[in-house]
Amino acid sequence: MTQYRDITEITNTISQEDHIHQLALLSLIMMIEDGKAAPPTIHMGNWYSAFRELLRCTFPLQQGEVFWPVAFRICIHHGCAKILGKHAVPIPVPTQIPTSSFAENIRFYQPHIWRNRFNLRDSRKALWETLSKSRSLVCPYSTFEQRFHSDHELIFSDTQIQTAYAAFHTAPNKRFLILSGLSGTGKTQFLLQFAKSYILSSNLNPQEHLHKVSVSPDWRDPSPLLGYINPLVERSDQLRFVKGEITDFLIRAHRYPLLPFFLILDEMNLARVELYFAPLLSAMETPEEPIRFHGERGIPSGVPAQLDAWPNNLFIAGTVNMDETTHPFSDKVLDRAFTMEFWDIDIQGYLQKNVPARFHKVLHRFYDILLPVHRHFGYRSLKEIMLFLSNAEHMISSEAQRASLERTLLDQAVFAKILPKIRGVYHEKLELALQQAHDLCVEESLFQSAQKLQAMLHQLQSNGVTKFWS
């Protein structure tokens, strides 16, 4: 029987085309690193479950039944354990060198092969690198684009889609995209749709590969994202580590490097990105450095002390609004990310697709009037206005009375969803926009909105500043 000095030699004996053998050994290595296996005593049922999960996440069309002969071969030739059929119980192997020949006693075990965590890590990386030659992390653009266009409510331009795709695939350790612009233009929906289309195009489940986090303004350090040690819990307690928002997601991304994982940070500049995102910003720049979770021994709460490298399969995107409630970005963040700006929407396409024709004129004209002063509205406002107006159908059955009610509701919708966003110091463009919006409301018999716009126009001319809220 061949004797191997370390796990690297075992790894090198596997053919590059033998995916089942690679995945079987890889699943065993990952179990050992997670503390779920300790050769030579191996629970074959747990190993088989780990292998099946790994197979499902990498090559789902392969047949998993061939695991047993491969596992048997690994155990015999590499000194893991004795297998008694498919449902073997763990059986320890001799601790002393047997007196008979190796050919007759194949269960001899060399402990150092499986106890060197650095060799395990290197072999894990080598196996993933070999597997990557047969399964690409990157989804082809043509496949992704076709799915993106097939199922989404909002309308995004080809330029926006192409820019986002190119930004995510520029540098494998910096798949980082920031979307800024007007509130309600569909930034978050664009990212969600992008991620789902990309994941589905890779024949994966979005629930397992997409994670959206709402950033809180009180985040001052990385603990809300990465987790922290609870000092009130005894060191021996497995619940000593409190997981953060993305702890498990990061571990899973690191665990399956050939699969895409999308992390979306909604309103990411409500808190200072440089503070709560600092470890990840540093890891992007030096991907060979570990990402540390804690300094404890063992794996409290199932969380290892660190990830040994930055997961190149992690796609990170954030949405931002630049107003009085948010924080600006430093160059440290901007240097690591691509930035896209969402100011305009395809209002004509959205109206034709989702809004009855009788409302097109007034909504389109409002958008065009407010666009030059950057006080226009986005998809969110349009959608909520339409949901608001659709109530007329359920309130009154008579068509004549319903038309009157729709005009009243349209007046209220403009007053509630469009006018509150208009504000600013005196400028000729703002004065003109207010005057044109007022004239439009008078023309369309939106009397409450016209009265409010007249007051705002007077306030601008008298005080040099205007806002909806008096």
Query: Residue 394 and residue 392: Cα distance in Å, rounded?
Result: 5
Residues of the chain with pLDDT under 50: 1, 82-110
Quick one: pLDDT at residue 113?
67
Q: Is residue 1 part of a domain?
A: no
**Domain termination residue (choose one: 322, 342, 362):** 342
Structure tokens that stand for 7 in this block: 């796990």
Does residue 192 share a domain with residue 115?
no
Does residue 329 share a domain with residue 405?
no
User: What is the residue whose two structure tokens read 């005057």?
Assistant: 435
Does residue 444 share a domain with residue 405?
yes
Does residue 169 share a domain with residue 97?
no
Q: Is residue 390 part of a domain?
A: yes
Backbone φ and ψ of 170, nearest 5°: -80, -50
Q: Is residue 370 part of a domain?
A: yes
Structural domains of the chain, count = 3
| Contact in structure between 80 and 25 (CB atoms under 8 Å) | no
Query: Residue 350 and residue 65: Cα distance in Å, rounded?
Result: 51
Quick one: pLDDT at residue 288?
84
Query: Residue 199 and residue 194: Cα distance in Å, rounded?
Result: 9
CATH of the domain at 322: 3.40.50.300
Query: Residue 423 and residue 98: Cα distance in Å, rounded?
Result: 87
Does residue 338 share a domain with residue 354?
no
Quick one: pLDDT at residue 13?
77
Quick one: pLDDT at residue 435?
96
Give how far the C-alpha of residue 148 lies from the chain's centroid of Cα atoms, to the nearest Å.
16
Does residue 313 share a domain with residue 279?
yes
Q: Is residue 136 part of a domain?
A: no
- Per DSSP, the residues of 153-166 read SS---HHHHHHHHH
Query: Residue 443 and residue 429: Cα distance in Å, rounded?
Result: 21
Instruction: Record the pTM.
Output: 0.83
Q: Is residue 99 part of a domain?
A: yes
Q: E strand or H helix at 307, and its extent? A: strand 306-307
Q: What is the pLDDT of residues 97-139, one digit of tens each?
A: 444 443 333 344 445 567 777 888 888 989 998 998 888 889 9
Q: Is residue 97 part of a domain?
A: yes
Does residue 167 share a domain with residue 126?
no
**Domain termination residue (choose one: 310, 342, 374):** 342
Quick one: pLDDT at residue 76?
62
Q: Is residue 187 part of a domain?
A: yes
Does residue 214 share a domain with residue 101?
no
Does residue 279 share a domain with residue 149?
yes
Q: Is residue 282 part of a domain?
A: yes
Does residue 445 share a domain with residue 420?
yes
Does residue 206 share a domain with residue 67?
no
| Contact in structure between 173 and 137 (CB atoms under 8 Å) | no
**Domain termination residue (choose one: 342, 371, 388):** 342
Those residues with Cβ within 8 angstroms of residue 213's Cβ, 6 or more apart along the chain or in another chain: 225, 245, 246, 263, 264, 265, 266
Does residue 214 share a domain with residue 167?
yes
Domain that holds residue 227: 141-342
